[in-house]
Structure 1
Amino acid sequence: MFKTDFVRLLAASGLAAGLSLAGPVLAEEVAEGTLLNAASIDSLLDKTLDGQPIRSVLVGQQEKMIRQYGWQMNLVKAKPVNITSGLLELTEKHKGEASLDAGKHLVNYTTGVPFPELDPADPDAGYKLIYNILRVGWLGDALNLQPLTFLIIDGKKGLEKEQGWVYRRFLMSGRLSEPHALDPNIAKYEALVNVYPNDTRGLGLLTVNYTDGRLPDVYAYVKSLRRVRRLSSGAWADPVQGTDLLFDDTFGLNLDPTWYESWKLIGKRQGLGVDHSVLPSLDEKASGKAKYPFMNLAEAPYWNFQPDNYEVKDVYELEGKPKSNHLVSRRHMFVGATLGAPKFYWQDHYDRKGEHWHTEFLGYKDVKWDDGRTGPTVTGVLLVDVQRLHATAFGYSAAFHHNPPDAKAADYTPEALPRMLE
Structure 2
Amino acid sequence: MKKAMISLLPLVAAGFVGSAFAATEADVENTFNPYKAGMPSVAGVTPGTVINKANADQFKEVLSVGLHKLIKDGAFEMKVGATTQFMINSGYINATKANLNKTKLGAKPGDNLTGYVAGRPFPEEPDLKDPRAGEKLAWNYKYGVNWGDGAVISPFYWRYRNMTTGQIEKTIKYDFHFLNFMHRTNNAPIPEITPNPSGIYRAIYVKANEPQDLKNTQLLIQRFEDDSKLDDAYLYLGFQRRVRRLAQGQVTDSFLGSDLMIEDFEGYNGRVSDMKWTYKGTKNMLLPMWNHNELKLSDEFKEADGYKFVNYGGQGGCFPDATWQLRKVYVLEAAPVNPNHPISKRTFYMDAQLQNVNGAIDIYDRKGELWKAFSVGKSHPDHHLPVNKGSGIGIDDGVIMVDVQAKHCTTAQFKGQVDPKKAPPGLFQVQNLRGGD
Amino acid at match of 2:182: S
Please say if 1:391 is aligned against 2:406. Answer: no
Q: Which residue of 2 aligns with 1:337?
A: 352
Q: How many angstroms does 1:57 deviate by? A: 1.6
State whether structure 2 residue 172 is matched by structure 1 residue 163: yes
Match of 2:190 in 1: 179
Per the TM alignment, residue 344 of structure 1 is displaced from its structure 2 partner at its CA by 2.1
Aligned match of 1:381:
399
**1:94-243 maps to which residues of 2 (within 5 A)?**
94-102=99-107, 103-117=110-124, 118-158=126-166, 159-177=168-186, 178-182=189-193, 183=196, 185-213=199-227, 214-243=229-258
Q: What is the letter of the counterpart of residue 390 of structure 1?
A: H
Match among 349, 362, 370 for residue 348 of structure 1: 362
SS at 1:101 equivalent: coil
Instruction: Kindly report which structure 2 residues correspond to 1:73-92, keeping only aligned pairs within 5 A, or say none.
Output: 73-92=78-97
Q: For 2:249 and 2:47, locate their aligned partners in 1 and report how far apart those are by CA, in whole Å.
A: 47
Deviation digits for residues 388-422 of structure 1, max 9, x if unmatched?
A: 1111111232xx2213335321122222235666x
In structure 2, stretches of 5+ residues that fail to align are: 1-41
Pairwise CA distance, 1:65? 1.2
Q: How do 1:222-301 residues align onto structure 2 when only pairs under 5 Å count?
A: 222-260=237-275, 262-277=276-291, 278-280=294-296, 283=299, 284-285=301-302, 294-296=311-313, 300-301=315-316
Match of 1:344, SS state, is coil
C-alpha separation in 1, matches of 2:115 and 2:150: 22
Deviations 1:147-190 (A, max 9, x none): 10101100122122211122122111222234223348212111
CA distance in 1, matches of 2:355, 2:89: 8
Q: Percent identity?
A: 27
- Normalising by structure 1, report the TM-score: 0.81
Give the drift of 1:276.
2.0
Q: Residues 206-227 of structure 1, C-alpha deviation per residue, up to 9 Å, x if partnerless?
A: 1111111211111111324423
The residue type paired with residue 257 of structure 1 is: V
Assess if the C-alpha contact under 8 Å between 1:84 and 1:138 holds in 2.
no
- TM-score in terms of structure 2 length: 0.79
Which is greater in Rg?
Answer: 1
In 2 relative to 1, CA 374–333 (structure 1 residues): closer, same or farther, beyond 3 Å? closer
Residue pair 1:268, 1:317 contacting (<8 A) in 2 also: yes
Deviations 1:320-377 (A, max 9, x none): 0112121111101100112x44352100101111111111011111225469533210
The residue type equivalent to 1:150 in the other structure is W
CA contact (8 A) 1:275 1:363 kept: yes
Work out whether 1:68 is the aligned partner of 2:73: yes
Task: Quote the offset at 1:313 in angstroms.
Answer: 0.7
Q: Secondary structure at the match of 1:199?
A: helix
Q: Partner letter of residue 377 of structure 1?
A: I
Q: Residues 371 and 350 (structure 1 numbering): CA distance in 2 closer, same or farther, change over 3 Å?
A: same
Unaligned runs of 5+ in 1: 1-26, 46-53
SS of residue paired to 2:290: coil
Structure 1 residues 376, 281: CA separation in 2 closer, same or farther (over 3 Å shift)? farther
**How far 1:201 sits from its partner (Å)?**
2.5
CA distance in 2: counterparts of 1:108 and 1:193, whole angstroms: 36
Alpha carbons of structure 1 residues 293 and 123: separation in structure 2 relative to 1, 3 Å: closer
Question: Partner of 1:14 in structure 2?
Answer: none
